[in-house]
Chain A
Amino acid sequence: MLRWLVWLVLVALTLGASVPVVAALATLFVDSPGTSTTGAPSGPAIGMALVTAGASALIGGLATVLAWPVARVTARAGGGWGVFVVLPLLVPIYLVPGAWRTLLDPTSAIGSWLLEASIERGFNFLRLADQSLAIVGLAIWASPIAWIILHLRLRSLGAVIEAMRLGVGGAARREIALANLCRGAIVRAIAIVGLVMLAQTVPFDLAQIETISNGVRVAVSLGRTGEAWVIASPVLAVALGVGVWLAWARTPRVVAGESGRRGGGVGILLVLVPVVLGVVLPMVVLAGSMRDLGAIERFVRRSSRAIGWTVLNASVVGALALVLGGAIWIALREHRRAGGIVLGVFAAVSLVPGVLLGAAVASAVNASWVPAWLGASSVPLWAAHLGRYGVVACLGAMWLRAIEPAAFDDLHGLRGPSARGWFFADLPRLLAGLVGVSLGVAALSVHEIEAAVLLQPVGTDGLARFMLELLHYQRRDDLGAGVLLIGGVSLVLAVGSGILISRGLGANSGRSGLLRSGDAA
């Protein structure tokens, strides 16, 4: 019974998230009204591919540099600090560039100086500043991803790190030696952050960085859907490769090493650096840039329906992520290969540029055989957001599975697979972690723009289109109010997510009393 239910859920959700992409790709090979297959890129897209690779590598590198000292501290102090570390990832991706861009306002000293220099020297310094802000902002946003990878690796080296402390050589030399020991994790961190960047559009669009995802946006906005798929083909190839690799990879078993000396004092402050840079300072800058804080109250009054609509949809997406996470956790235990395939599909779909995913879903629901009510409902938006962020639920479930002591498997082996056993033995220790991950997915859904603007009918109350307009046209007070509000909602969800994930990880790793520490070792 449980097994059938799990497979039903997984098949339904996986098809829901992936079929639009496959169907849209299929339409490229048939003559479908409304989908232009003409207009291949006028020139080779090599330039865009190089910019994409360069920007992704740069952001991956910066994010890893930011995450390294944080991971060094949390590896000693424990993963509980992750509650704070993951916050930048769950607030809007445009928070940092959106906030600091207000300082480039032509009436500000910096903005006026840059604009004058641009006019005098014939070089667009303003755009360069915008682009730098976008790169740095994305690196801060993605630094928690790099942190997770580095933290896990450093935790496994606890004893080695302690031994190195006793050795000769200065701190710098020890740090280099340690980085050398972690070089695989460092490369993985740069690569994974770089991969995540492939699907992002809004910050690149605002800063006029001509990445593949931005080229896709332009093609989609001009109705050249066929051309968009062609432009995206390098990214799609990477997505497919990642999906296949994940489908066949083994679930890692994470064994925590000795955490060694507990960190504290100044070291702990390092943990807060990404939070300060990625959440606190941008919000302060935005609030400070507003002429009238009453704009927040006006924004709430004006957008209360849009906020409600957005939060409601995000709740549904979060609930779907919860179901997906639970189902995939069971699948990974009962039938690793099938669970891996589902993970691979969600990972591949998550790397498809959000604009293209939105266009694919829109195209699918506009097919003649699809009932009109479905296209007019919120279902397409849920499918697109599940496609973009379902992988987070899958990876969360995979992590919960990976840290689980082998003793739990032994208990499960004795008990056998049953719905009753899952509900009473497994769910209690998984629930906090799964709900935490789902809240994180809901937070991401709240501020997602790329797919939502294509799926939200014109005139429907929703924040995505409104925020996009505000970001483009720099209506300063409204922008400040909107980003502060959405950032606040996301922050509440993120804190809840972080606390629950932290508790969930503790429960599932056998540190909650469900399993004695000796059993878990």
Chain B
Amino acid sequence: MRPDRKPSLAVLLGVILTLSACDGRQSRPGEALVAIDTIGSVGRDPGRFDYPRAMDIGEGSLWVVDKSARVQRIDPQTGECLAWFRMPRFDRGKPTGLTIAPFLDGSPVIYVADTHEQRVAVFALATGMRERPELLASFGGFGEAGGRFIFPTDVAVLEDETGRPERIYVSEYGGNDRVSVFSADVLRGEDGFLFSFGRNGSGEGVEFNRPQSLAIDSEAGELVVTDAANHRVGRFTLDGELVSWIGTPNEAGTGAFDYPYGLMLLGGGRALVSEFGASRIALVDLSAGEVHSRYGVPGRGAGELSTPWAIDAMGGTLFVLDSGNNRILGCRPEGLSATDLAGPGP
């Protein structure tokens, strides 16, 4: 997941987009989403998906990885596949995390949590059909020692003032559930491992059970983590100290969250969380530790959700990776402004 956006840009875009957002097709809490866009369908042709399970937004495009180990670049306006490539190896399993973030020179690249290859692979942005872009960096490897992974799930990049990577956060599961932190040196092929925090468990301390998504709240200087199989969302300092948990393992299915997978920060201490188990989207007040409202209902019909893995926004539209229905739904939830959903811009 990307760090949240620069407020000035977001405000500017928000003003522009407010007009276009006022079309009355807003999704109300507790109801099926009003889909203003439905992108993709089931299949393995370009533009179609075979159980997509990670998504991010960058360079004006949606980037999606699915269970056929393909990374696709999708035009959100037309739904057309602009470029795609397949991961180099996937016989042990497929990636579950994908992040568009800056590389050493500040240009955007693709960070893939190559889950079953126990590594993070960094590729240049794909431009061609079936052409695998240059592998710029790769780090990790199997193991429980510092800097190694069992099953990495997501990557978040903390940028410095110049827009270059300062720290790289990687979440993982598989019995060694934790978040590992690296300096940008790791992208140069050096040992950039700094520290890790958390362990496998369901306690009130820093314990995780499949931390699925990461996002950096640069406003608050915090890292937000969806602790999926513990049915909670955690706030941490950038050095890994626990600030608070929202939800508890004991409330699964009835309380705050039901397998929270996807995460998107809105600014102002709020976040959207996609609940894989309950097939809905939760608007969360991170500061108050409360769920403000929920959008979407389970199903296979128009605007209904099935096991949504990821969410992100761009141009005033919230895009929900509706994995079980093999599509991306674009919507505008009531209560969220166009500024909230401005995204990273073109």
Contacts and interface: CB of A to CB of B under 8 A. Distances in A.
Indicate whether A and B interact: yes
Interface of A: 105-108, 112, 115-116, 118-119, 124, 126-127, 221-223, 291-292, 298, 301-303, 457-460, 469, 473-478
A222 B50 contact: yes
A118 B279 contact: no
A222 B66 CA distance: 12
Interface of B: 41-44, 50-51, 91-92, 118, 141-142, 144, 150-151, 174-176, 200-202, 209-210, 229, 249-250, 252-254, 279, 297-300, 304-307, 324
B142 A458 contact: no
A105 B42 contact: no
A116 B142 contact: yes
A473 B43 CA distance: 22
Given A106-B174, A457-B299, A302 B253 contact: yes
Nearest to A292: B202
Contact of A106 (B44, B142, B202, B324): B142
15 contacts: A106-B175, A221-B42, A298-B249, A298-B252, A301-B254, A302-B253, A457-B298, A458-B305, A459-B298, A460-B298, A473-B210, A477-B202, A477-B209, A477-B229, A478-B229
Nearest to A115: B142
Given A124-B92, A458-B279, 12 more contacts: A106-B175, A106-B176, A107-B144, A116-B142, A223-B42, A302-B252, A302-B254, A458-B298, A458-B306, A460-B298, A476-B175, A478-B229
A458 B91 contact: no
B277 to A, nearest CB: 8
A221 B48 CA distance: 13
Contacts of A457: 298-300
A475 B209 contact: yes
A379 B161 CA distance: 61
A458 B324 contact: yes
A475 B210 contact: yes
A107 B42 contact: no
A116 B92 CA distance: 12
Contact of A459 (B141, B151, B297): B297
Contacts of B176: 106-107
A292 B249 CA distance: 12
Main secondary structure of the interface of B (DSSP, over half): loop
B142 A119 contact: yes
Nearest to B149: A106
Residue with the highest number of chain B CB atoms closer than 10 Å, among A118, A459, A474, A477 = A459
A65 to B, nearest CB: 31
A458 B278 CA distance: 10
A473 B298 CA distance: 20
Contacts of A298: 249-250, 252
A223 B41 contact: yes
Given A124-B91, A221-B51, A291 B200 contact: yes
B175 A105 contact: yes
Contacts of B306: 458
Nearest to B176: A107
A493 B248 CA distance: 34
The residue in B92, B141, B279, B299 that gathers the most chain A C-beta atoms within 10 A of its C-beta is B92
A222 B253 CA distance: 29
A291 B201 contact: yes
Contacts of A303: 253
Contact of B300 (A302, A458, A477): A458
B95 to A, nearest CB: 14
A107 B142 contact: no
A106 to B, nearest CB: 5
Given A106-B150, A298-B249, A458-B298, A222 B44 contact: yes
Nearest to A223: B42
B92 A222 contact: no
A83 to B, nearest CB: 37
B50 A107 contact: no
A126 B116 CA distance: 11
A110 to B, nearest CB: 13
A87 to B, nearest CB: 31
Contacts of A475: 209-210, 229
A31 B92 CA distance: 39
A108 B150 CA distance: 12
B298 to A, nearest CB: 2
A478 B44 CA distance: 31
A107 B91 contact: no
The 10 closest A-B pairs by CB, nearest first: A459-B298, A107-B175, A302-B253, A223-B42, A458-B306, A458-B298, A106-B150, A475-B229, A302-B252, A458-B299
A349 B279 CA distance: 33
B66 to A, nearest CB: 11
